[in-house]
Amino acid sequence: MLTVEEAAHRVAATAQPLAPEPVSLNEAAGRTLHETLRADRPFPPFNRVTMDGIALAFAALAAGQTTFVIERTQLAGQPPQPLRSPSTAAVEIMTGAALPPGADTVVRYEDLHISPGPDGQRHATVLVPPPAAGHNVHPVGSDCAVGTPLLLPGTCLGAPEMAVVATVGAHTVQVTRRARVAVVSTGDELVPVENTPLPHQIRRSNALMLAVAVRATGAAVSTFHFPDDPAALRIGLPALLTDYDLLLLSGGVSKGKADFLPTALREAGAEEIFHEVSQRPGKPLWFGRKPGGAVVFGLPGNPVSTFLTYHRYAAPWLRTVQAPLAVTPPPPTFAALAEDVRFKPALTYFLLVRLESGETDGILRAHPVFPNSSGDMTSLLPAHGFMELPLERDFFREGEVWKVWRF
């Protein structure tokens, strides 16, 4: 049976980058950039005033001048006019304004006294002289020069990234297209949510759970349901394998009489890459692909198994195809076990955990959440993810640090 590492490796080998598509600025948030965005101007684009006060020539101060006639007031957004009399005058100026030519320094209000002069004009007396020319000025180009790459291909466009996109005026951007994902539930025991199930039936919940999780990655999701009928699968599967990038099937992959899925998938042209992984939960995981078509995960049908195998294998696949050029993949999380854990079977153990950040030591602690059964989806609710415990060991001591896959 395949190990988790080998299975993950085979999954990763099928993750082909998706093509780019142009979207408008308003549609770009949450998408993955597929081009390099560069500074279209130096930043800041002008000598930017960083304090409200007066702009003056430092040389005048150095020459002994302490009181300056205020020539005029300049707000942010107003074109800068030259300082007419740099040796004796100043411009009252606001944060965000462009420094007037002839001035090189700003003295903030707190370091000034402003009073009406005998000439009817306002006079500013510098009480606390600035330490050097350039004080309270953010020089043009000091953040970056024209042409500096600001956002690289593979960047996920969150809020600060969108601010950069707007700043450089990219009203259309190339982003990686969304993955098209079909979420398929199977099983005659499953009835629609609106129905009242018969005693031996349950409502369909795995498909919705997967759809919500997949949509959070930015992918486009459609959901389908097939009865336990080889004929229905034979009719329905081929189009799904052609029209979608990814099929997520839940249930139908163990070795029972009604688990036709692996056979039906093979008949529809999907090649099996592996079936079964040495892990708990989720041992019956099926994985394959149709050459030139969809990649297929047959996820085990118990909700806890479905969700954990989705996060261990399918979610990273989606991240890779949708952010194929990512410069900085999301950093992994490691946590310390909050109690001893024993697990005898020679399987990699996906242990549900609740994470807690240590207020005094900064240690992330993983508190095990033990499901009543892998059919008990409520055990997922308090968990923040699962810890991956290797199959070579059967005892894990409190304090040991292992990788955690966050939901």
Residues 199-238 that bind its own copies (CB under 8 A): 199-206, 208-210, 212-213, 215-216, 228
Which of residues 17, 129, 134, 197 is near its own copies by CB under 8 A? 197
DSSP 314: I
Measured CA to CA in angstroms, residue 249 lies from 27, 161, 286, 321, 386 at distances of 30, 35, 9, 19, 21
CB 254 within 8 A of CB 303: no
The strand pairing partners of 282, in sequence order, are: none
Report which DSSP code applies to 329: P
Could you say which residues in the range 57-116 bind its own copies, by CB under 8 A?
Answer: 73, 75-80, 92, 94-98, 109
Considering only 35, 143, 272, 276, the residue that binds its own copies (CB under 8 A) is 143
Q: Which of residues 122-141 bind its own copies (CB under 8 A)?
A: 138
Residues 271-330 that bind its own copies (CB under 8 A): 301, 303, 307
Asked if 354 contacts 382 with a C-beta cutoff of 8 angstroms, the reply is yes
Nearer to its own copies, 79 or 292 (CB): 79
Candidates 163, 292, 342, 392: give the one binding its own copies (CB under 8 A). Answer: 163
Sequential DSSP letters for 36-61: -EE-SS-BSSS-EE-SSEEEE-HHHH
Give the nearer residue to its own copies in terms of CB position, either 46 or 224: 46
| Listed ranges 2-10, 12-20, 196-204, 235-243: which one lies at the site for its own copies (CB under 8 A) | 196-204
Residue with token string 């394959």: 288
Please pick, from the candidates 63, 116, 331, 392, the single residue that binds its own copies as defined by CB under 8 A.
Answer: 331
When asked if residue 258 is in the footprint of its own copies (CB under 8 A), the reply is yes
What would the two tokens of residue 257 be? Answer: 């009489």
Of 13, 119, 255, 342, the residue at the interface with its own copies (CB under 8 A) is 255
Nearest by Cα to 377 from 186, 200, 183, 206: 206
State the nearest-atom distance from the C-beta of 240 to its own copies, in Å. 21
Which one, 221 or 241, has the nearer CB to its own copies? 221
163 φ/ψ angles, rounded to the nearest 5 degrees? -65, -40
Rounded to whole angstroms, how far apart are CA atoms 190 and 96?
Answer: 62
Options 116, 332, 344, 392; binder of its own copies; rule CB under 8 A: 332
Output the smallest distance, CB 96 to its own copies, in A. 5
Smallest gap, in angstroms, from Cβ of residue 386 to its own copies?
12
Q: Write down the least CB distance from residue 150 to its own copies, Å.
A: 6
In whole angstroms, give the CA distance from residue 390 to residue 407.
20
In the numeric block, the tokens 């490691």 are attached to 334
The stretch near its own copies (CB under 8 A) out of 40-48, 121-129, 173-181, 241-249 is: 40-48
Contact 98, 157 (CB under 8 A): no
Q: Which of 48, 178, 290, 319 binds its own copies (CB under 8 A)?
A: 48
Residue 340-379 contact track with its own copies, rule CB under 8 A, x = bound: ---------------xxxxxxxxxxx------xx-xxxx-
Determine the size of the site formed for its own copies (CB under 8 A).
107
33 touches its own copies (CB under 8 A): no
DSSP-derived letter for residue 311 is I
Rounded (10°) angle between helices 4-12 and 315-322: 30
Which residue in the block uniquely carries the two structure tokens 């995981």?
285
Neighbours of 338 (CB within 10 A): 18
Nearer to its own copies, 175 or 241 (CB): 175
